[in-house]
Amino acid sequence: MAHETESDENLAARLSRGENAALGVIIRRYQDPLARYIRRRCYSCRSEIEDILQDVFLRVFSHIREFDNGLSFSAWIYRIAHNLMVSRIRKTVVRSVEDPLDETLIPSTLFRADGPHEAVEFAKTLQAIQERMPTKLRDVFVLRFLEEKDYTEIGDILKENANTVATRIRRAREFVAGEAQRLGLRMALENK
Amino acid sequence: MKDLTEQILATARARNLKQIPRWRFALARGILAVLLFVAILVGAIAFGLLLESLWPDVGVIQGRGFKQMAIGALPLLLLSFFILLSVLGAYAFRHFRYGYRIRVPLILTVVLGLSLMGGIATYQMNLNFLMHRSLMQNVPTYRMAFEGQRRTFWVNPQAGRLAGELLSVNQDTIRIRDFSGKEWTVLNTANTETPSARSGSYRFVGAICGAHFCAEAMRPWDFHGPQGKGGGNGKGMHRQMMGK
């Protein structure tokens, strides 16, 4: 019987052996982090988050035998979520912002607000900066600075090698730092 | 957000969703591996053919702006094919399970390197010649593109290159009809041994001298082919034809 504290890799192995209960544990474990990731990356996906998540977990179920332990399960499931989200974004040409970045989606390591008002303003400005950012930089920015993933995992999610990831992170950092300076925004990008 | 577990499990049941068996993923990877292998192999043959069309000329045009001539003589079709297949091979490698972890330039270098080594090997084994002969006989587009470009390059007496069919061969003079239809008397000014054969096509390197063409070196038009290796003296068809 699949247990809530079992490792992702064990759950994946159980699921691939036909123990469908393991999928329930995976869903409960990843539903919120993936929803948060989608909200951080796509401001116009709010109404579709449940659909995207459903597709993600159904894909996990049907493709579980493709997963192997050379990759972390987390990177694998984020990759699925990322690809399905990008595919949804591409299908709609013009989209409006229906789910703006809010302060709860910003990790405290990136910005420590002196008060609620400042946090809200920060979120708004960061969203404006992200919207101006090229897609590839935005992908790594969200994964590195908001999701706080390490370089290897980002590479595995985006299917890019470590050097490319490092270069894009550097460019994203420079882009955001430049914009932040222009807009008078303080944030802690240096240590990442 | 509400717990999606029940909803998703119910959807999976309603759609009668099944897990895709492992062999299907293995098959997809196998197809990529075959694609990579074929790309390297065919790339190697293309490179071997490039060698085939250039290497015999090294001795002939050495010291006469070889680099310039080599670039001009490179059969573009083969070169494009070689590059295309290397890119295809790199694409296949990149899409292996963890292929993305390796930098594209490195992948491309490895694939190109393997094709180059394979090309040298197939050249040594004459496999590329057999492939070339088969293509020349059976694929008109290949024949037109390959021969057309090669003939254009070699029928350029002002640049010191001439090629055509032998009409007659004497000790010091050779009569030929070049591939554009013009007849020439080729003078053997360098006292190179003249072709022992009385027919077939030849190419000459030299210069126009008056109304004639003074040849300093001459080679059979066709590639040496497998005869040179299996057939006996190991010197290649042109040497056999020239009676060496």
At B147-193, the pLDDT tens digits run 777 788 788 898 888 999 999 888 788 999 999 999 999 998 877 76
Q: Do B1 and A16 touch (CB under 8 A)?
A: no
Structure tokens at A9: 């890799």
Residue B13 and residue A95: Cα distance in Å, rounded? 33
What is the ipTM, given to two decimal places?
A: 0.79
Q: Over pLDDT 90: what percentage of chain A?
A: 55
Contacts of A94 (CB under 8 A, 6+ apart): none
Q: Do B4 and A68 touch (CB under 8 A)?
A: no
> Which residues lie across from B158 on neighbouring strands?
none
* pLDDT tops 50 at residue A145: yes
Residue B38 and residue B234: Cα distance in Å, rounded? 30
Residues from chain B contacting residue A62 (CB–CB below 8 Å): 17-20
Residues from chain A contacting residue B32 (CB–CB below 8 Å): none
Residue A97 belongs to a domain: no
Residues from chain A contacting residue B110 (CB–CB below 8 Å): none
Read off the amino acid at residue B176.
I
Domain with A112 in it: 103-183
Highest mean pLDDT among A91-105, B57-71, B209-223: B209-223
* pLDDT tops 70 at residue B226: no
Question: Per mean pLDDT, which range of B103-107, B135-139, B215-219, B224-228 is the poorest?
Answer: B224-228
Q: Do A31 and B100 touch (CB under 8 A)?
A: no
Cβ contact A150:A175 at 8 Å: no
Q: Do A68 and B97 touch (CB under 8 A)?
A: yes
Q: Do A66 and B25 touch (CB under 8 A)?
A: yes
Residue B19 and residue A16: Cα distance in Å, rounded? 8
pTM of the model: 0.73
Q: Domain ends where: A40, A56, A91? A: A91
Interface of A with B in 37-56 (CB under 8 A): 49-50, 53-54
Residue A191 belongs to a domain: no
Domains of chain B: 22-141 (no CATH), 155-241 (2.40.50.140)
Q: Are residues A85 and A13 in the same domain?
A: yes
Residue B163 and residue B219: Cα distance in Å, rounded? 9
Please identify which residue in the block is written with the tokens 């591939």: B179
Q: What average pLDDT does range A55-81 have in this prediction? A: 94
pLDDT, averaged across chain B: 78
Q: What average pLDDT does range A5-13 have in this prediction? A: 92
Q: Are residues A175 and A109 in the same domain?
A: yes
Q: What average pLDDT does range B229-233 have in this prediction? A: 36
Residue A159 sits in a domain of what CATH number?
Answer: 1.10.10.10
> Which residues lie across from B214 on neighbouring strands?
B187, B207
Q: Are residues A19 and A79 in the same domain?
A: yes
* Pairing of β B183-188 and β B212-220: parallel
Q: Domain ends where: A91, A119, A135? A: A91
Nearest CA in chain A to B3: A28
pLDDT in tens, A105-142: 778 777 666 666 777 888 888 888 888 899 999 999 99
Q: Do B102 and A161 touch (CB under 8 A)?
A: yes
A4 touches B at CB < 8 Å: no
Residue A192 belongs to a domain: no
Cβ contact A62:B20 at 8 Å: yes
Nearest CA in chain B to A27: B5
Q: Are residues A81 and A32 in the same domain?
A: yes
Highest mean pLDDT among A82-86, B115-119, B172-176: A82-86
Contacts of B238 (CB under 8 A, 6+ apart): B56, B219, B220, B224
Residue B132 and residue A15: Cα distance in Å, rounded? 53
Q: Where residue A82 falls among pLDDT bands split at 50, 70, 90?
A: very high
Q: State how many domains chain A has.
A: 2
Question: So what's the pLDDT on residue B223?
Answer: 64
* pLDDT tops 90 at residue A67: yes
Cβ contact B166:B202 at 8 Å: yes
Q: Domain ends where: A91, A126, A143? A: A91
Question: So what's the pLDDT on residue B171?
Answer: 77
Structure tokens at A173: 């950092």
Residue A28 sits in a domain of what CATH number?
Answer: 1.10.1740.10
pLDDT in tens, A169-188: 999 999 988 888 887 777 76
Nearest to A31 among B4, B18, B19 (CB): B4
Nearest to B223 by CA among B57, B47, B71, B41: B57
Count CB pairs under 8 A between chains A and B.
Answer: 71
SS3 of residue B191 by DSSP: coil
Q: Are residues A73 and A112 in the same domain?
A: no
CA B34 from chain centre, in angstroms, equals 22
CA B140 from chain centre, in angstroms, equals 16
pLDDT in tens, B2-13: 778 888 888 888
Residue A116 and residue B154: Cα distance in Å, rounded? 80
Q: What average pLDDT does range B206-228 have in this prediction? A: 76
Helices (H), chain B: 5-14, 22-61, 66-73, 76-94, 104-125, 127-138, 140-154, 227-230, 237-241
